[in-house]
Amino acid sequence: MKHSLEAAAPISPELRTRFLAWTIAIASSLTATGAVNLRPSAAWGQDESGKAVQKEANTKTESEDKNTSTLTRAEFNELRQAGKLAELGERIDASLQQSPGDTNLLSMNLSYSMSIANANPQQAVERFSNLIDSILERDELGIVTATYLVNAANYFVAIPSDLTAEEKDAKLQQVLSKLMASPKDVSSQVQALITARSRFLIREGKASEAKDALDVLLAQAREKLSDDTEASLKNYISISSVYASTLGEDFPEEAQAAMLAASSNLAERLAQPTATVADIEMLYQLTSPRIASASYTQPKVADQLLKQVEGAIESFPDPSEADTKQLQSIAKKVNSLRSRVDGALKRDALIGIDAPDFEAEAFVGTDPFSLADVRGKVVLIDFWAVWCGPCIATFPHLIEWQSEFGDQGLVIVGATRQYNYEWDDEAGKAVRSKKEVDLEDEVAMLEKFREHHHLTHGFIVTPANGSFSASYAVSGIPQAVLIDKQGKVQMIRVGSGEANARALHEKIQELLAE
């Protein structure tokens, strides 16, 4: 989808759904590509966010403001649990007027603003903006307030609003300037904000600007290696990992070079007799984000990187009992990545083969057809589920592509299965049923779901015990499969990320032109 940086129009329901799904995906610790496993995803845990903020507040230093807030934490929790959000917001605002420097109030304000984001995103963004401005007005930042500042900035750009990309980025740069001017060591907060800003810029189609910001951060970390301390090496490894995972799609060569340079430093360390299991942990931390992101688009690269970590674990000499336990802990995480990479290698092996035909118990929004019936057209199969937020986040792209390419020979078909959902007319959404839902009723739910989301393509409902998903190596959704006019698989992408959308859009154009 093309990005517009002009003054934004009021946000559409479809775009709001897409961005909220993306925000929920982040808060639920989904993969960087916006893909989920084939099970219902957890909802955005507001309580967990509140607890995390409260924990940060409890770590404030002696130099932080210790005024007692008018609103107590117990009152805050009581009002929020009672659902009295309007009253809670008024109490927070009144208390902040009396004690604007109270870090406990800042914590509650941050948590409250997050709790209203789903129901009123515009109001939440305004509150985050005001919170940021109030902290920027301070003469000096403490560690806690710097952390709140970065958290508020993250949500400020993540939640949909009528602000333009330039307006959001201008606020991020104000925050960065304030952090950089702090006499206290807020380097971790600076790194977190630069990373967040870079990812924001990439989402807005400004990958070159994102790279410029990360280039500076990486150069600074590289210079500090001359200190020859474990802390400087860990910092360099951490930033190299962020650099590679963030820029891997748009600047694969530079990302790979950063990864190799950092790996070289670690390899020298691991070759020494003094090497420790902690060094292997650092190798895992360096490579795992890149492995995770590359597994979807460059599975062979991911496989090579993963083999480095596996080899380091296997070749570690004479581990002590404590070392063995730590190695087993690392190996458990590595095995999880291995499962993902192996799945990606299976999908990669499908490229160029004849596409397996549909297995369908029912068709929704379209007459029954087979792949042979649409030979000579380009087919996009979208594997999805009604409970999958990232799947719903792809709908605007699918609607756009159907409109743009439908007359040129693109056929889009969604592939889902029964999940025992029914349509709630009052709520206007699909909900999991407490009773068993038969195929006819589930199809009726899908028809209403399709109409509700203004989808213009049809679905197939695959058998619960069928092999259709397995034949396309589906292990996470959404998964998009592009099939050329000759009926051969030409691209598979997992996840709802913008990089995937751009790649699919370009490939559709290429295949239609052949």
Query: What would the two tokens of residue 77 be?
Result: 């929790």
With beta carbons less than 8 A apart as the criterion, state whether 379 and 355 touch: yes
Which secondary structure element, helix H or strand E, spans residue 428, and what is its range? none
Give the long-range contacts of residues 208-215, CB within 8 A, separation 24 or more: 210/246, 210/247, 210/250, 211/247, 211/250, 211/251, 211/254, 214/239, 214/242, 214/243, 214/246, 214/247
Q: Residue 487 and residue 239: Cα distance in Å, rounded?
A: 43
pTM: 0.60
Q: Is the pLDDT of residue 24 over 50?
A: no
Q: Is 460 helix (H, G, I), strand (E, B) or coil?
A: strand
Which residue is associated with the tokens 């479809």? 14
Assign 27 a pLDDT band (cuts: 50, 70, 90). very low
With beta carbons less than 8 A apart as the criterion, state whether 309 and 283 touch: yes
With beta carbons less than 8 A apart as the criterion, state whether 370 and 487 touch: no
What's the confidence (pLDDT) of residue 36?
63
In this structure, how many other beta carbons lie within 10 angstroms of the beta carbon of residue 102?
22
Q: Is 65 helix (H, G, I), strand (E, B) or coil?
A: coil
Q: Please confirm whether the linkage preceding 319 is cis (ω < 30° from 0).
A: no
DSSP 373: G
Which residue is associated with the tokens 């930033």? 239
Q: Residue 172 and residue 141: Cα distance in Å, rounded?
A: 16
Q: Tell me which residue of 113, 188, 102 sits closest to 145, measured CA to CA.
A: 102
What's the confidence (pLDDT) of residue 37?
61
Cβ burial of 399 (10 Å; 0-12, 13-18, 19+) is middle
Encode pLDDT of 306-354 as tens digits: 998 999 899 888 889 989 999 999 999 999 999 999 999 999 999 999 9
Query: What would the two tokens of residue 127 be?
Result: 């509150």
Helix H segments across 68-226?
A: 73-81, 85-98, 103-115, 121-136, 143-158, 165-180, 187-203, 207-223
Encode pLDDT of 279-293 as tens digits: 898 899 888 888 887
Encode pLDDT of 448-477 as tens digits: 999 999 999 999 999 988 899 999 999 889
